[in-house]
Amino acid sequence: MSQTAILNVDNIHKKYNEDKPNEVYVLKGIDFIIPPGQMTAIMGPSGCGKTTLLNLIGGLDPTSGGDILIEGNSIIAMNDSELTNFRRDNVGYIFQLFNLFEDQTSVENVSLPLLLPLVPTNEAITKAEMLLAEVGLGDRFNDLPGSLSGGEQQKVAIARTLVTSPRIILADEPTGDLDIATSDDIMALFRRMQEENQGMAVIIVTHSSRIAHQCDRIIRIENGKVFSDEVVN
Ligand SMILES: Nc1ncnc2c1ncn2[C@@H]1O[C@H](COP(=O)(O)OP(=O)(O)O)[C@@H](O)[C@H]1O
Ligand SMILES: [Mg+2]
């Protein structure tokens, strides 16, 4: 390999309730390599294991076989505390429902990830305000999530993910609850953020072919395997 891949998913298997009567064999050998700077859509029928796959890549759930490397580092080989630190520094997660703290303002929500590794508060707030301005919420710093629209809440969630400059963003149906115009707006934002964060990879699970075709590549999962993998842009 001439340059290190951002992500290498190598023959990943996943069974829930392994070796029990209620075992579910979800992923049966998934392989793909994501180069720096690629925006990838993951598609596939409901229940095919898209969320499962993101959770494995994010190190939130153990695999049943295979390897996952992020910039050449195997997350399978890490112990819990190594994994927690690695995840905090390298992986950003965005969900369909925005998972903001309802009793905290935009700035408080976005600065939170910086306060965990103990960045001084004023520095964290300055960075949070900068990112909120970049996502177009420069006038909503002190709003609580309840007073923002769904699209605006998702932008706060994206700013919160970007505040730690992750190498890889995992987004699970991030536009699933949003209308078309707002979804396009969120996709444009991902694209802009990716250009600003050199090499950052973005992986988006979506049911929308409109969203998928704004990505660089579409990987389709079916029956536990990669059904198709095509470059679209
Ligand atoms: N914690 C779990 N325990 C047992 N089965 C699970 C668990 N999480 C997901 N599953 C099963 O794994 C399969 C894949 O689920 P999921 O990854 O959520 O699919 P998708 O995101 O593609 O809709 C489904 O059959 C689901 O019921
Ligand atoms: Mg899912």
Q: Which two tokens stand for residue 153?
A: 């809440």
Hey, whose CA ends up nearest to atom 4 of ligand 1?
16
Candidates 101, 104, 59; CA nearest to 77 is 59
Q: Which atom of ligand 1 lies closest to the CA of 49?
A: 17
Element holding 208 (H helix, E strand) = none
Report the CATH number at residue 158.
3.40.50.300
pLDDT of residue 130: 93
Candidates 125, 12, 126; CA nearest to 64 is 12
Candidates 95, 84, 92; CA nearest to 117 is 84
Mean of per-residue pLDDT scores for the chain: 93
Among all ligands shown, which has an atom nearest to the Cα of 221? Answer: 1
In a domain, 28, yes or no: yes
> What whole-number percentage of the chain has pLDDT above 90?
79
Number of domains, the chain? 1
For 193-227, write each residue's pLDDT tens digit.
Answer: 899 888 999 999 999 999 999 999 999 999 999 99
CA–centroid distance, 113 to ligand 2, in Å, is 24
User: Which of helix, strand or coil describes residue 113?
Assistant: helix
Q: Taking a C-beta distance cutoff of 8 angstroms, is the pair 225, 26 a contact?
A: no
User: Which of helix, strand or coil describes residue 193?
Assistant: helix
Does 89 have pLDDT greater than 80? yes
Candidates 212, 173, 157, 170; CA nearest to 61 is 170
Could you list the residue range(s) of the whole structural domain that residue 200 is in? 7-231
In a domain, 158, yes or no: yes
Q: Which atom of ligand 1 lies closest to the CA of 45?
A: 22
pLDDT of residue 143: 97
**Cβ neighbours of residue 146 closer than 8 Å, sequence gap 6 or more:** 102
pTM, two decimal places: 0.92
Angle, helix 150-162 to helix 121-134, in steps of 10 degrees: 130
pLDDT of residue 3: 64
Burial status of residue 4 (CB atoms within 10 A of its CB: 0-12, 13-18, 19 or more): middle
In a domain, 92, yes or no: yes
Residue 26 CA, chain-centre distance (Å), reads 20
CA–centroid distance, 25 to ligand 1, in Å, is 10
In a domain, 2, yes or no: no
Does 96 have pLDDT greater than 70? yes
2 pLDDT tier (thresholds 50, 70, 90): very low
CA–centroid distance, 53 to ligand 1, in Å, is 10
